[in-house]
Structure 1
């Protein structure tokens, strides 16, 4: 599952999308200009819990309070919401620094593919696992979520079906603590249905569309993690997590985790003023400032976050024509953007040339259409968009487009480069910045843009996101906010997500990726370098790389 991020500087490390990689390392102050390949770096200041003091408050930042605390809902499909929820909600798998999956035994004693014909997956729930009201986590929670995400009832405003549209039934196993999921079609990313960025919710949230859409808008419902929400202060823009007194696993070292709403420009000064403990670094100036701040170190592991442009191809939009979108894509110098934005942050800046896989991940290859402004201009001419002065026109309509983004310096810098690129072929780009509150709900989800910039944040299950973002289905937007696709692409996605052979699935996924480029659906820009500035006393937290964090082990050294 992929979740959205409006900002380029996540301060909450998130598990990355790679499944196969090798090796890990750590360092006291990683050099942002040194090599740090995906799957080889995990820079979190690892310490045994015996070296940490009991108690303490980890202070982090958010750009806005959650629009909806249901991360499965289209308004809750946000990286920062996931970062708040991650210490509080169940997930089936954890990953190490090499992205190897292991069952999260705090919640499940076993998760296994028990049959392939038909495909069946058996979840055996830890008998100690309970929701925050003391009620047990049972097979009914799994069954209710499967039904909610099946897509059968369109009144559930889901962010992703996550393979539950392929589920025939969910049955009780040997007791209430076991669920057996039977598929009527194969699903390649079955491990990700309650893992990665997909949490297991209690049936109270998923049992009806009304509950799913509205029951946790103002605050979270039941949770089941080492931490739970203590308070939400909307006036101060603050969320505080505290230890869950019913938690059955290892006792957390921290007492609390506090999230404060800050504008992007205020996060680094807040770190310098000892108001927060970690912040993602957006550019080389941030790196230099952080490095010169006493008590702050820079940790680095290439991130699972990547910036991109999404085009709006909805009927009636100025970019409804596929050829226009493709021509504009070819006129954008993504290597130039990478050079300008990531110079000094990585050793050799490169654009991201794949919608499915990241650089360093098995399956990654360059499927892009390339940078060719001459061809772009010629293609626009052929489509009837002729230069009239500095801007092209067709049927009296100027080729003038709105680029919508969160008000962040890095996003604006990227937009300014694109603006210059497109001016060379007679396309006028207007830059529109938006505040964090309601960014997705008010702008992206309703399609209030011509092109838009945000980041996608992945998890170890990239194939599960193909339908979510690139499939086009009537009345089921999920993450395809540009409303772009085709029956051919839908069919290719279907073939890919049904393939249980990993090698064949990778081959098909790259065919999907090429088709996404050819549709002019969206344009990947850059993979995050993963630079995080953190307080030097903070342990087991920082640039997590491919690993999931253990929130019971995060703390401050004695």
Structure 2
């Protein structure tokens, strides 16, 4: 898992993400179309090659985060590798195209359409007549019905993680032939295309025992270009082999071995040649790119010696294929209590942020489009996408300060006597910087940004300094190059001295300090960079941040999910079906029977009745245009509530052996596993043609 941010949906979904992601939003005026969704900011980068150019046979070694605990994507402990395996070995009635929109998969479906709306919604599926399971049985209504019963939520013996959509089905029956499946819904369901992808055989879904345990480590019956040969937990590998019963274009590769390689070990695995494909971080990407340059060359920052690293020759066998991941990183604001329970304070935090600058911090060095995200519910190119950030407003220091004043937070307000530990923390915080490892109080990974140093970048009378605050980071880099030391540990040149009479923002005797919680593990450097910039932006409006770094294992479980934070960075994957998938993320928390607060997946604890109603309306209409408009309206209300602020689309960096075609950074598109393979010798010298990304 990437430690650019934690993806909370990992709790209930098979997709798990960590913060440091990036999201992108196109300038709507530049779309050249009436479609507000625009186009994706980056296309997939997979070195596409025609099947005739790809050799038959070979084994592909693919680095993954872990061998999955289950092969059943509908269980709570399913992960991204579970999903990858399912894509290669099981039917998906719909796939995502290059804009992240669902399209029929002709290998399994001839057609699917709503044939009745009154008195009930009825969908008729016509299956590909060649589609069969590996045991020779045709795909049919029995498989659909078994999956519906398992996921409907009516039988608690099935340990399911989700049942959205399946709980709206009334019955499933055979159509006019064995190749037709008729699904009748008890209530209208707009996202019906999300169902039965993947589709498991009735042998898996038919009984609670087979569902709960039978598909955890093996899938005896499959229906894809590959099948599962072995899950080897001792070797930390899953081996997929070409399926002899596949009716579509035959797989080029003989085997795909999914090999568990921790992120911190991937550079070494690439250098050793033990993997052919690996998602990597920016630092490893730089090493791979340097290795591919002519001997003795380097970059201005790294110098020629960087190109002479011991693993340079080995890494030269790979290239970095780049795109934007279908996921975005957000700043979450916990509205359950404390200062952020006040919507005015949340809005002030949002108005203090320069989201364009934050996107550039992550994406610009990678040569990827650095455009802030404009939607909580979709990414640029997807049908539901529109830039609704105007409902909250952009960066405006004066407006942020006015909101804080209106909420009762004023400079120089009287402070209550602090405890000894608080005084020590405050004293440390005056000299600590967001980028340092200095601790406030005890050595617990906590540091405070603000108070006296928080007024840096602001004149005593509240006016903005002549120097553009956005240039402060560059000044910090110059200090680093000239004097050494940790980046951000020096006050930028030209910083105005704090006014003697001014003090921290305070209310009811307490300073305005927000707890910023971050993961501390390897790979979280990008997150820390983003958090550092955010803290400095908040300083300019008088908000202090107390940053604590916690272990990766504890970050989401003990802090985000439990609400033990004020500010946090984590990522959400984009969905082609936001009315279904996003509703639990933004649903208004409600009291549970035991007196606790039921938040579903809404870890910011910010929600409104209006947002819930708009989601309910969107999911119940069969008019696609109306559903899209309702989702966009819901997004505007989510922006206005300021519980979370989308920042940027996550970068997707993949190191790939140069001779491997049709694999790499897939962007929105569902991978086509049967087309992956190694180029024939005649094509190796020239190398695969790259996609036109202009």
Q: Distance in 1 between matches of 2:631 and 2:671?
A: 28
**Residues of 1 paired with 2:356 and 2:247: CA distance?**
50
Between the aligned partners of 2:138 and 2:167, the Cα distance in structure 1 is 26
**How many Å separate the matches in 2 of 1:136 and 1:445?**
43
- Is residue 538–residue 554 contact of structure 1 (8 Å, CA) maintained in 2? yes
3-state SS of paired residue (1:552): helix
Indicate the residue corresponding to 1:108 in structure 2.
Answer: 109
3-state SS of 1:343 partner: helix
What is the deviation of 1:278? 2.6
Supply the distance in 2 between the matched residues of 1:130 and 1:218 (Cα, whole angstroms). Answer: 22
Aligned CA distance change for structure 1 residues 456 and 88 (closer, same or farther; 3 Å): farther
Look up the match of 2:576.
Answer: 460
Paired with 1:219 and 1:367, the residues of 2 have a C-alpha distance of 45
**1:372-408 C-alpha deviation (Å, 9 max, x unpaired):** 4544454445445677563767686974424244732
Q: Equivalences for 1:469-548 in 2 at 5 Å? A: 469-472=585-588, 479-548=601-670
Does 1:332 pair with 2:353? yes
CA drift at 1:550: 1.7
* Correspondence for 2:395 among 371, 376, 387: 371
Structure 1: runs of 5+ lacking an equivalent: 11-20, 23-35
State whether structure 2 residue 515 is matched by structure 1 residue 401: yes
Tell me which residue corresponds to 2:253.
254
1:42-61 correspondence to structure 2 within 5 Å: 42-61=44-63
- Distance in structure 1 (CA, Å) of the matches to 2:90 and 2:557: 23
Q: Distance in 2 between matches of 1:446 and 1:85?
A: 31
Q: Which region of structure 1 is more displaced relative to structure 2, 47-56 or 96-105?
A: 96-105
1:195-240 per-residue CA deviation (whole Å, 9 max, x = no partner) reads: 4xxx223345545667656655566675432223333343443333
What is the count of residue pairs matched by the alignment? 529
* Structure number having the greater helix percentage: 2
Deviation at 1:145, TM superposition (A): 2.9
Per the alignment, do residues 418 and 141 of structure 1 end up closer, same or farther by CA in structure 2, a change over 3 Å counting?
farther
| Partner SS for 2:365 | coil
Aligned-partner SS, 2:264: helix
8 Å CA contact 2:514, 2:546 repeated in 1? yes
Q: Which residue of 2 aligns with 1:426?
A: 543
**SS across alignment from 2:49:** coil
Structure possessing the higher radius of gyration over alpha carbons: 2
Closer, same or farther: CA 317–149 of 1 in aligned 2, 3 Å: farther
Looking at structure 1, the residues matched to 281 and 537 of structure 2 have their Cα atoms a distance apart, in angstroms, of 22
TM-score by length of 1: 0.80
Q: Which is bigger in relative contact order (C-alpha 8 A, separation at least 6)?
A: 1
Structure 1 residues 227, 483: CA separation in 2 closer, same or farther (over 3 Å shift)?
farther
User: In 2, distance between residues paired with 1:333 and 1:145?
Assistant: 46
TM-score between the two structures when normalised by the length of structure 2: 0.66
Secondary structure of 2:671's match?
A: coil
Q: Which residue of 2 aligns with 1:18?
A: none
- Cα distance between partner residues in 2 of 1:70 and 1:350: 36
* Equivalent residue number for residue 183 of structure 1: 185
Q: 1:214, 1:250 → 2: CA distance? A: 32
What is the CA distance between 1:337 and its match in structure 2?
Answer: 1.3
Contact 2:330–2:648 (Cα < 8 Å) also in 1: yes
CA contact (8 A) 1:402 1:431 kept: yes
Is 1:205–1:211's contact at 8 Å kept on the other side of the alignment? yes
Q: In the aligned structure 2, how far is the partner of 1:156 from the partner of 1:384?
A: 51
Mark the CA change 1:535 to 1:419 in structure 2 (over 3 Å): closer, same or farther. Answer: same
Conservation of the 8 A alpha-carbon contact between 1:405 and 1:453: no
Give the aligned CA root-mean-square deviation in angstroms. 3.9
- Structure 1 pair 403/140, CA: closer, same or farther in 2 (3 Å)? farther
Cα drift, residue 538 of structure 1 = 0.6
Range 520-529 or range 390-399, more displaced: 390-399
Q: Which residue of 2 aligns with 1:28?
A: none
In structure 2, relative to structure 1, the CA distance for the partners of 1:100 and 1:404 (3 Å cut) is closer
Does the residue aligned with 1:171 lie in a helix, a strand or coil? strand
Unaligned runs of 5+ in 2: 1-8, 22-30, 33-37, 293-315, 416-425, 427-450, 452-503, 593-597, 681-694
Kindly provide the CA deviation profile for residues 256-275 of structure 1, in whole angstroms up to 9, marking residues without a partner as x.
22223333333344334423
By how many angstroms is 1:449 displaced? 5.2
Asked if structure 1 preserves the Cα contact closer than 8 Å seen for 2:520 and 2:552, the reply is: yes
Match of 1:139 in 2: 141
